[in-house]
Chains A and B, each alone.
Chain A
Amino acid sequence: MWVYEKKLQYPVKVSKCDVRMAKYLAEQYGGADGELAAALRYLNQRYTIPDKVIGLLTDIGTEEFAHLEMIATMIYKLTKDASPQELEAAGLGPHYVSHDSALFYNNAAGVPWTAAYIQAKGDPLADLYEDIAAEEKARATYQWLIDMTDDVDLQDSLKFLREREIVHAMRFKEAVEIIKADREQQKIY
């Protein structure tokens, strides 16, 4: 069961309409290492991971949905006053003819999200190493996004999300150690 909370995890402010940035931010919305992929990856892996790590996957997976909502808010605010001409000028003409200004799960290049972006191997270490890699890739993407804008309000929210990737990767690395220690203990008995 999930319960929605009617607030963002962290404030999202933008200082101007910027369709170009909205197009790039789609990478974290419907891209391979974006927030949707992250949430679905972790929540799906929960069912076959050792009990000691289920809580962590549940909580990080849930937090990813809060991040997805922050990215959606950025894209929404950056495009809500844009005309079709402005969308087209920023390379979102094809998006407009299919979606108007609706959000859609695709990456910065317009490629729709696919389950092929995520994995579930059933092997706990293989799954956790994938999760760590995904967090590191998302962190790098946030850095490139921060570098692409001079909007300090937008940068502030993106920096928050970049830091969350670092913390998640750290927690996943600890989960790897927990599983390794558990295996060692089982060998003794």
Chain B
Amino acid sequence: MTTTLDEQYYSSLLELQQLDFALVELTLFLDTHPNDMQALQQFNQLAQQRQQCAHAFELRYGPLLQFGHSYSKFPWQWSQSPWPWQV
């Protein structure tokens, strides 16, 4: 493993997982309730929060997405361990 995982890693990851969980739930809900304004507002608000949280996570622990959806430091970080099932 090239990145040393500290306690902070697990708590930052959990924070992102919690935000993403709410966003998955809201996405599915909005798929069948497209006119729910309150759900939509909550969705957009959390999407913004998620962006900031993911950005902070990536700065510290490397890219979450690829094909150009995340930036990389030198050398190429994407192919470095750990992968999700290794932590």
Contact = CB atoms under 8 A, between A and B. Distances in A.
Contacts of B33: 174
Chain A contact patch, size range: 20 to 34
B28 A167 contact: yes
A83 interface: no
A109 to B, nearest CB: 24
Interface string B15-29: 011001100110111
Nearest to A8: B84
Contact of B65 (A5, A55, A72): A5
Contacts of A7: 13, 16-17, 64, 84
Nearest to A173: B32
B76 interface: no
Interface in A166-180: 167-168, 171, 174-175, 178
B85 A4 contact: no
Contact of A3 (B13, B16, B20, B66): B66
A76 B84 contact: no
Main secondary structure of the interface of A (DSSP, over half): helix
Contacts of A171: 28-29, 31-32
A7 B64 CA distance: 7
Interface stretch (A29-37, A56-64, A111-119, A137-145): A56-64
A178 B32 contact: yes
Nearest to A75: B85
Nearest to A55: B31
Contacts of A72: 85
